[in-house]
């Protein structure tokens, strides 16, 4: 049995909302954007289609848009598992990853065996990144052992391919839970922590990203290992 409370206490992360808001305001006040910001942002984007109406024609058109647009090299094309092979077959650009949402996306409310099987199928089809989701209900019930084992198994499957773990921060109750979810994800194998699926009514917010970045900074200091953050869901409104 792992001592999760001890693990969480190892990370000295600011969770006071008043202090967090003040720190965010300082960062925003001091930050200036240079003229290359659009180029930088495109290279960090996942070009995504996760709609119930998706079909091969739609995904093909999306991939062709990336193939033919030399000015917007995105980080990845993100699709449902069924369309991973469609993207792989039609993608002609080098350096663009194929990301698949997996593991019972977006609610993560399914059997662990199904999450493992679906992830494995995505990888076999050609996915180079996996976006999995924190089972929030189990997390709120403090089922940390179960969740940590699941993250570890998913990362074992992924190997050197990236595991992006979605915390769905908009429905976590407080900053401390965002902190603990971030620690849990990174300590047990996630290469990226991600705010949201974009499917819940509340997506990303500055407070959550600030907390996640604090955890990433401390994780890097602890292990000298680079990991990433992905901001998703409602980004155009924050």
User: Is the Cβ–Cβ distance between 38 and 199 less than 8 Å?
Assistant: no
Q: Is 194 a catalytic site residue?
A: yes
CA-angle at 160, arms to 138 and 127, nearest 5°: 75
CA distances (Å), 172 to each of 72, 116, 133, 140, in order?
Answer: 34, 24, 13, 8
Burial class (CB in 10 A: 0-12, 13-18, 19+), 188: buried
User: Is the Cβ–Cβ distance between 133 and 147 less than 8 Å?
Assistant: no
User: Is the Cβ–Cβ distance between 76 and 47 less than 8 Å?
Assistant: yes
Annotated catalytic residue, options 115, 162, 179, 194 = 194
Neighbours of 148 (CB within 10 A): 18
Annotated catalytic residue, options 155, 162, 179, 230 = 230
Q: Which two tokens stand for residue 82?
A: 């069924």
Q: Is 221 a catalytic site residue?
A: no
Annotated catalytic residue, options 131, 162, 164, 191 = 131
Residues annotated as catalytic are 131, 194, 230
């Amino acid at each position: 049995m792992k001592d999760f409370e001890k693990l969480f206490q190892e990370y000295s992360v600011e969770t006071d909302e008043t202090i967090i808001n003040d720190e965010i305001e300082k960062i925003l006040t001091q930050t200036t954007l240079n003229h290359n910001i659009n180029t930088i942002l495109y290279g960090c984007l996942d070009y995504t289609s996760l709609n119930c109406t998706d079909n091969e024609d739609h995904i093909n058109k999306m991939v062709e848009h990336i193939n033919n647009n030399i000015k917007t090299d995105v980080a990845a094309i993100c699709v449902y598992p069924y369309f991973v092979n469609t993207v792989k077959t039609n993608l002609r650009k080098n350096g663009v990853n194929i990301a698949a949402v997996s593991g019972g996306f977006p609610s993560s409310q399914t059997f662990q065996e199904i999450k493992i099987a679906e992830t494995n199928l995505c990888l076999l089809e050609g996915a180079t990144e996996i976006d999995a989701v924190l089972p929030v209900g189990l997390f709120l019930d403090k089922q940390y052992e179960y969740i940590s084992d699941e993250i570890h198994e998913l990362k074992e499957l992924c190997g050197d391919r990236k595991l992006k773990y979605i915390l769905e921060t908009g429905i976590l109750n407080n900053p401390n839970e965002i902190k603990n979810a971030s620690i849990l994800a990174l300590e047990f194998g996630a290469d990226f922590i991600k705010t949201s699926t974009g499917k819940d009514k509340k997506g990303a917010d500055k407070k959550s990203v600030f907390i996640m970045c604090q955890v990433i900074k401390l994780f890097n200091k602890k292990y000298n290992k680079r990991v990433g953050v992905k901001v998703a869901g409602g980004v155009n409104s924050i």
